[in-house]
Chain A
Amino acid sequence: MSYPLANALLIWRLTLEHLQISAVSCLLAILTACPLGVLVGRVRWLAPPVLAAAGIFYTIPSVALFAILIPVLGLGVKPTVLALVLYSQLALIRNTAVGINEVDAALLQAAQGMGMTNTQRFWRVEVPLAIPVIFAGVRTATVMAIGLASIAAYIGAGGLGVLIFQGISTGNTDQILTGAVAVSILALLADAILSSIQHVLRWAMGVRA
Chain B
Amino acid sequence: MGHGSARVSVLSYLLEHPTQVLALARAHLWISLLATGIATAVSVPLGIVVHRVRAVRVLALGMVNVGQAIPSLALLGLMLPLLGIGFTPALVAISARALLPILLNTYAGLLSIPQHIIEAARGMGMTDAQILWRVELRLASPVIVAGIRTALVVSIGVATLAAYIGAGGLGDLIFQGIATVDTPLLLAGAIPAAGLAFAADGLFGILERQLVRPLG
Chain A residues near B (Cβ < 8 Å)? 56, 59-65, 67-68, 70-72, 75, 143, 146-148, 150-151, 154-155, 161, 164-165, 167-168, 173, 176-177, 179-181, 183-184, 187-188, 190-191
Contacts and interface: CB of A to CB of B under 8 A. Distances in A.
B197 A60 contact: yes
B187 A71 contact: yes
B69 A143 contact: yes
Interface class of chain B by DSSP: helix
A187 B157 contact: no
14 contacts: A61-B197, A62-B161, A64-B191, A67-B190, A68-B187, A147-B70, A147-B74, A151-B73, A154-B175, A164-B73, A164-B76, A168-B80, A176-B81, A184-B71
A150 B161 CA distance: 11
Nearest to A67: B190
A73 B171 CA distance: 20
A187 B81 contact: no
Contacts of B65: 191
Contacts of A68: 187, 190-191, 194
Interface residues of B, number: 45
**Which residue, B77, B186, B191, has most C-beta atoms of chain A within 10 A?**
B77
Contacts of B164: 154, 165, 168
B91 to A, nearest CB: 17
Nearest to B68: A143
Contact of A150 (B74, B174, B183, B201): B74
B152 to A, nearest CB: 11
Contacts of B174: 63-64, 67
A180 B69 contact: no
Interface string B66-105: 1011111111111011000100000000000000000000
Contact of B74 (A59, A154, A173, A184): A184
B194 A177 contact: no
B131 interface: no
A188 B175 contact: no
Interface string B157-172: 1011101110000110
